[in-house]
Amino acid sequence: MIHASGFAKKMNLFINFAKRFCRNRSAVVGLLLLVVVALMAISAPLLFPEDPWDMVTTPFLWPGQDPKFLLGSDIMGRDLASGLFHGSRISLLVGFTATLAAVLLGTAVGAIAGYYGGRIDSALMALTELFQTIPQFIFAIVVVAILAPTVTTVTFALAIVSWPAIARLVRAEFMTLRERDFVLAGISIGMSNFRIITTQILPNALGPIIVTGSLMIATTILTEAGLAFLGLGDPNVMSWGTIIGAGRDALRSAWYITAIPGLAIMFTVLGLNLVGEGLNDALNPRLKNR
């Protein structure tokens, strides 16, 4: 009965959260955009089983000119639709993986700094400020250039430049929550610091972390596209940035090569931002009755 009651309570909380999220029409639109992009990534091997790097038609085939290649072809005669669908897999993979790594690292640093304070806080925040003094995009370029451009190194570079923002957010949340009564009660009954951090404070700080993480995915996708545009993407995989970079030399004569993946990035980033705002509204207790 206790387990059933706990499950029912969790389901009720989830339903209330879903209702608050769905009240934000912009957030629902953003979620639909992300579902479309996710379906593109999932269906890419089924709809386009061939290698997106294959030259399958004449170069500079405009969208709609040939029914077999609805989005046209690029400067090398590669199918743009195939590249767009396969590219969504890499862009989403890098964006989500880099953000997850940055959130985990930033949360760990921010939690330790905010909970313990003192010299530990000063040392960790000094390290965070050191990373923040370097422009993120330039830092990412340097890291990828040193390690050689691969999906792994690009993901690593994006995670390294993104974690300080999460660390500062989590530190502020922990400094606020560590003086609450439920934390003091945990200390009084002999809970370990690790248990207090993971079971008492962190769950109450998840709202801002989730919202910030959803917005950070959009930033990492844009940064990955920028790196690929500059030729610092993995040359063995197709991404939206790779397509844009390949079409920059024909921007005047065949602008559609850069416009199509550019629109895909724009709608993906827009969807992530709208979902982030919806999560903020749904998770923020001050906005529950809005």
Locate the domains of the chain by residue range. 23-48+97-287
Residue 2 has what pLDDT? 47
Tens-place pLDDT, residues 47-95: 999 889 989 888 899 998 888 899 999 988 999 999 999 999 988 999 9
Q: What is the mean pLDDT of residues 245-254?
A: 84
Which CATH fold topology does 23-48+97-287 show? Answer: MetI-like fold (1.10.3720)
The pTM assigned to this predicted structure is 0.87
- The per-residue pLDDT for 11 is 77
Cα(226)–Cα(245) distance, rounded to whole angstroms? 9
Phi-psi region of 150 (alpha: psi -120 to 50; beta: other; left: phi over 0): beta
Helix H, strand E, coil C: the string for 118-135 is HHHHHHHHHHHHHHHCCC
Flag whether pLDDT at 236 surpasses 90. no
Share of the chain above pLDDT 70, in %: 94
129 band by pLDDT with thresholds 50, 70 and 90:
very high
What pLDDT is recorded for position 97?
95
Q: Is the pLDDT of residue 248 over 70?
A: yes
Is 41 a residue whose pLDDT tops 70?
yes
261, burial (CB in 10 Å: exposed 0-12, middle 13-18, buried 19+): buried
What tokens appear for 24 in the block?
């934000």
d(C-alpha 147, C-alpha 201), whole Å = 37
pLDDT at residue 7, rounded to an integer: 66
| Model pLDDT, residue 285 | 52
What pLDDT shows up at residue 190? 85
Give the pLDDT confidence score for residue 251 in this predicted structure. 81
Q: How far apart are CA 267 and CA 178, in angstroms?
A: 39
**What pLDDT score does 286 carry?**
53
pLDDT > 70? residue 1: no
Give, in order, the Cα–Cα distances in Å from 150 to each of 37, 42, 206, 228, 231. Answer: 23, 22, 32, 10, 11
Question: What's the pLDDT band for 5 if we cut at 50, 70, 90?
Answer: low
Average pLDDT (242-257) is 86
Mean pLDDT of 172-199: 88
pLDDT given at position 148: 85
CA distance 258 to 51: 20
Q: Which pLDDT band holds residue 290 (cuts at 50, 70, 90)?
A: very low
Give the per-residue pLDDT at 20. Answer: 83
More confident residue, 81 or 247: 81
pLDDT (0 to 100) of residue 46 = 93
For the chain, give the percent of residues with pLDDT over 90.
45
> Which tokens belong to 204?
């109450």
